Amino acid sequence: KAGVTQTPRYLIKTRGQQVTLSCSPISGHRSVSWYQQTPGQGLQFLFEYFSETQRNKGNFPGRFSGRQFSNSRSEMNVSTLELGDSALYLCASTLGLQETQYFGPGTRLLVL
Amino acid sequence: KNEVEQSPQNLTAQEGEFITINCSYSVGISALHWLQQHPGGGIVSLFMLSSGKKKHGRLIATINIQEKHSSLHITASHPRDSAVYICAVRGEYGNKLVFGAGTILRVKS
């Protein structure tokens, strides 16, 4: 069974642009969570989706948004990029709620 | 004070040594996760605990719910165990994880 995939793996953007990151969960998994990892703040929770519904949202500004499609694939969007948005963005999928999370390889975003 | 505290922040060990990494948390949880992250970023879930003890190969994880404390032990450490080990707790609802800062482990041969 294929693992969690994330595209693109690397991305360079400039301030003010927007970006869309994609996450395909393990087949059959219905929950997708997104995390941001930076050297200064470590790992922080962004969003959690289950069956196309956002269940939880972290303490990030409204520039960060996401959605989940009927096939459980998920996207997150960051608008009006800032230098501080440079980070590794990870998604993780679970079969249901309250279960082991399987992480994707991450998308490394650099904002110049 | 962070909700999840890990110690030590850095740990260097000789191959074969017994290693312990500690995690304390201050909130009510439904489960605690131990994660491993190698250079390059990939994260692997090692354990998910809600009580007691779990063992997988040379790795052992324990949790004491009353004391809000968990430990990850590595027996007979090996250089390939070198990685960042991260403790994360999950609240009572949903899948949101709150992470510790991580412990950087280096095992020398």
Q: Distance (Å, rounded) from C-alpha B52 to C-alpha B19? A: 19
Report pLDDT for B60: 98
pLDDT of residue A99: 80
User: What is residue B1's predicted lDDT score, i.e. its pLDDT?
Assistant: 64
Question: Number of CB pairs < 8 Å for A and B?
Answer: 61
More confident residue, B49 or A2: B49
Percent of chain A scoring above 70 in pLDDT: 99
Selection from A64, A110, A104 nearest residue A87 by Cα: A110
**Lowest-confidence segment of A37-41, B37-41, B86-90, B105-109 by average pLDDT:** B37-41
B94 pLDDT above the threshold of 80: no
> Which chain A residues are Cβ-neighbours of B56 within 8 angstroms?
none
- Tell me phi and psi for residue A53, to 5 degrees: -110, 135
Q: Using 50 as the pLDDT threshold, list the residues of chain A that sit under it.
A: none
Residue B61 near residue B74 (C-beta atoms within 8 A): no
The whole-angstrom distance between A88's CA and the closest CA on chain B is 8
Q: What is the pLDDT of residue B51?
A: 92
Residue from B95, B96, B97, B99 whose CB has the most chain A CBs within 10 Å, to mutate: B95
